[in-house]
Amino acid sequence: MTRLLVDTASLDGDFPRLGEASLHHLKVLRPEIGEQIELFDGCGAFRRYVYESGSVKNPVLKPLDDKKTEPLAKNKAVLFACVTKGSRWDWTIEKATELGASEIVPVISSRTIVRLDEKERSSKRERWQRVADDAARQCGAYHIAKVHRPVDFEESLSLAGAMRTFVGALVEPTPRDFFDLLSTGVLRGTTNESFGVFVGPEGDFTSDELQRLCSVAEPVTFGPNVLRAETAAIYALSLLVSALR
């Protein structure tokens, strides 16, 4: 079924307004008369319509049912990840959204290859949020991951410290395996809480960063192999989301 992202108010009336991005998707998809289309607001609300007009510039959509709401997950899964270069970061956002991340916090650490000035951070956040929006539209999610404005490592410490956060860390003695830890059911029964996973950049954290991070987050290992940054992010998030469900 074709899915389009709209503002919440559009789901309340019988004549929904489609934004520029949704109209573009409709034009690309070229639905047939009588085809069902689902509109959702990214915050849990959705409604199904039937496409009654062949004009993709001014489509006529007839509601098939009343607005419905998908409840939020009992807990939030937050991904703290140092920004990777090129298309790898877009891929990370896309997959994190598909897995059910509630929030994604891009981090700029000492060894992060991607460097962003203050102006770039706002524009990048907007583009990355669109990546998350598209991923949610395609995978059938009703809640879209919130992509934060990129933060420096210093600021990320206070954010990670505000919740129970696990960090993939190469420390001595070797910390507990993340999978084994979650398998004990340590997160079972929690409600309305936020849990984070934190992964470093391609060149790993500096020793000072790692020491400071381990003071606010619980060090764990992601297994015997050294994972690429984007692989570690998705592996850790997959385990966390599964445990919270």
Cβ count within 10 A of residue 137: 21
Report the DSSP beta bridge partners of residue 194. Answer: 76
**According to the model, what pLDDT value does residue 165 have?**
97
DSSP string over 18-66: P-HHHHHHHHHH-PPTT-EEEEE-SBSEEEEEEE--S-SSS--EEE-S-
Q: What phi and psi, each to the nearest 5 degrees, are found at residue 197? A: -125, 140
| Residues 10-37: b if buried by 16+ CB within 10 A, e if exposed | bbeeeebebeeebbebbeeeebeeeeeb
Question: Rounded CA gap, 148 and 34, in Å?
Answer: 39
Q: And the tokens for 150?
A: 């990129």
Q: Spell out the per-residue pLDDT of the chain, length 245, in tens.
A: 889 999 898 888 788 878 788 888 887 777 788 889 899 999 999 999 898 876 667 788 889 888 899 998 899 999 999 999 889 999 999 999 999 999 999 999 999 888 888 889 999 999 999 999 999 999 999 999 999 999 999 999 999 999 999 998 877 788 899 999 999 998 988 888 999 999 999 888 999 999 999 999 999 999 888 899 999 999 999 999 999 98
Q: And the tokens for 23?
A: 């109209």
